[in-house]
């Protein structure tokens, strides 16, 4: 009985395993996602279509719709009435339109705006729409600057991984040589263990560099809206500070947007003051009353008495519009100061980064390589202890990684300077 139960159990297990294999079979045939390779122009083009830019464009479209809403006259009002209904004697018989003694009327009323209200209202909406368009340009510049920084971050992470791969391979080779020399009795067990530790440390640093690269991939994917995995391909820009003059602050999109909002606030103040010019409503109606006349004309004229006889004269609206104009003027001044500060910072960052990158390329890195090469040669001939060789390799590793960081810092600063200058209209 136990034997049959065991056989049944194993049969069921084999059946479940077979079923699981059939269900998992389609997954085995799936291919890993293809790696997309980007250059800098492609990354910048993708940043122009990011979700942040899309949100700014939606705001721009809404501001343009406000122009259509503002640039229109008040809608005429159609009215109909039934009057002079005699409730004591009743309505009598006959047609409602021609026989019953009811005064019927159909009228139309127009409101005539005074004080140039429509023009001022439309001007306010148009200036706000232009400011929204300039805001979109500013968002595009900012997103491209961020995308360029993420692009070079990924490029630096890739270069660091290449450098650490080479260093890890050299450390592994050194550990293998040390094992052979230990067996031959040339070095001590302590030195052999030291080389093993250095090889394991190099592998750990390589894994950390891989994680750093993956984080850079995710950052670039988020800014560009492109799916991961990603890789970048480009040359590091030449480490030279451009001699072009700084772009005019008044032509920057953010400064121009703030200036447009000042104009919009000024037009809104004029529009608030125009409320003191009372609008006039004119109307007419055609009446029909059986037994009296079939066609009676009525003319109407209406005008509010705002500002007259001690009434309210829109003081609150005017004061609010004046405060908003002052606020827009202060915002313009703050934007100008921030723009000037950013321009100076971008130029200073670019100069410092270019000098640092040039210093590494021309002086520090070549010296570190020569020291490492001489240490390798001396150690191979037994003229240098292992500890000094390890120190030389560590120095070279630090210099190479610092050089990559210096190149990335210069590339980011140069891209930010160029993108900010390109956004300025001539």
Rounded mean pLDDT of the chain?
85
Asked if residue 276 has pLDDT above 70, the reply is yes
Cα gap 75→94, rounded to integer Å: 37
Evaluate the CA torsion angle 290, 295, 301, 302 in order and state its sign.
positive
pLDDT tens-place string over residues 65-96: 999 999 999 999 998 887 666 555 556 565 55
| Percentage with pLDDT > 90 across the chain | 55
Cα gap 180→174, rounded to integer Å: 10
Q: For the chain, how many helices (H) and strands (E)?
A: 9, 6
DSSP string, 25-54: HHHHTPPPPPPEEE-HHHHHHHHTTSHHHH
pLDDT attached to residue 94: 56
Asked if residue 64 has pLDDT above 70, the reply is yes
pLDDT attached to residue 292: 66
pLDDT tens-place string over residues 171-223: 888 888 888 878 887 778 888 888 889 899 999 999 999 999 999 999 999 99
Walk me through the domains of the chain, giving residue ranges and CATH numbers: 40-73+113-276+314-422 (1.20.1600.10)
135-157 mean pLDDT: 96
Asked if residue 241 has pLDDT above 90, the reply is no
Asked if residue 411 has pLDDT above 50, the reply is yes
Asked if residue 244 has pLDDT above 70, the reply is no
Stretch among 2-11, 309-318, 335-344 having the lowest mean pLDDT: 2-11
Evaluate the CA torsion angle 109, 115, 116, 117 in order and state its sign.
negative
| Percentage with pLDDT > 70 across the chain | 83
Asked if residue 293 has pLDDT above 90, the reply is no
Cα gap 15→9, rounded to integer Å: 10
Nearest CA to 408 out of 416, 420, 396, 397 is that of 416
The b-or-e profile of 170-198 (16+ CB within 10 A means b, else e) is: bbbebbebbeebbeeeebeeebbebbbeb
Cβ atoms 92, 99 nearer than 8 A: yes
């Amino acid at each position: 009985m136990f034997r049959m139960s065991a056989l049944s159990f194993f049969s069921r297990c084999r059946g479940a395993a077979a079923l699981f294999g059939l269900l998992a079979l389609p997954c085995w045939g799936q291919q890993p996602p293809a790696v997309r390779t980007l250059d800098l122009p492609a990354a910048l083009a993708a940043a122009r279509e990011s979700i942040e830019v899309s949100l700014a464009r939606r705001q721009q479209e809404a501001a343009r719709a406000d122009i259509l809403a503002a640039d229109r006259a008040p809608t005429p009002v159609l009215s109909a009435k039934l009057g002079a209904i005699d409730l004591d004697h009743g309505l009598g018989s006959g047609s409602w339109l021609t026989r019953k003694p009811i005064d019927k009327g159909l009228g139309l009323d127009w409101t005539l705006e005074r004080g140039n209200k429509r023009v001022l209202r439309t001007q306010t909406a148009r200036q706000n729409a232009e400011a929204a368009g300039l805001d979109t340009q500013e968002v595009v510049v900012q997103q491209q600057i961020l995308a360029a920084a993420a692009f070079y971050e990924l490029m630096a992470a890739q270069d660091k991984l290449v450098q650490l791969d080479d260093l890890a391979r050299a450390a592994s080779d050194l550990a293998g040589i040390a094992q052979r020399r230990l067996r031959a009795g040339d070095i001590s067990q302590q030195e052999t263990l030291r080389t093993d530790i250095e090889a394991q440390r190099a592998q750990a640093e390589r894994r950390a560099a891989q994680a750093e690269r993956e984080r850079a991939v995710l950052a670039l994917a988020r800014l560009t809206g492109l799916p991961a995995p990603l890789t970048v391909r480009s040359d590091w820009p030449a480490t030279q500070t451009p001699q072009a003059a700084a772009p005019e602050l008044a032509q920057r999109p953010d400064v121009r947007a703030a200036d447009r909002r000042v104009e919009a606030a000024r037009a809104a103040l004029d529009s608030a003051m125009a409320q003191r010019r009372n609008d006039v409503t004119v109307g007419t109606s055609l009446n029909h009353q059986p037994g009296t006349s079939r066609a009676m004309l009525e003319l109407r004229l209406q005008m509010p008495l705002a500002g007259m006889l001690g009434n309210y004269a829109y003081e609150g609206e005017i004061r609010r519009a004046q405060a908003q104009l002052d606020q827009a003027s202060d915002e313009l001044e703050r934007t100008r100061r921030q723009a000037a500060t950013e321009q100076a910072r971008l130029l200073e960052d670019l100069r410092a980064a270019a000098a640092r990158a040039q210093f590494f390329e021309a002086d520090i890195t070549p010296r570190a390589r020569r020291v490492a090469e001489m240490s390798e040669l001396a150690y191979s001939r037994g003229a240098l202890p292992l500890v000094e060789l390890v120190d030389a390799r560590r120095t070279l590793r630090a210099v190479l990684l610092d050089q990559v960081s210096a190149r990335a810092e210069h590339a980011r600063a140069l891209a930010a300077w160029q993108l900010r200058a390109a956004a300025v209209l001539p």
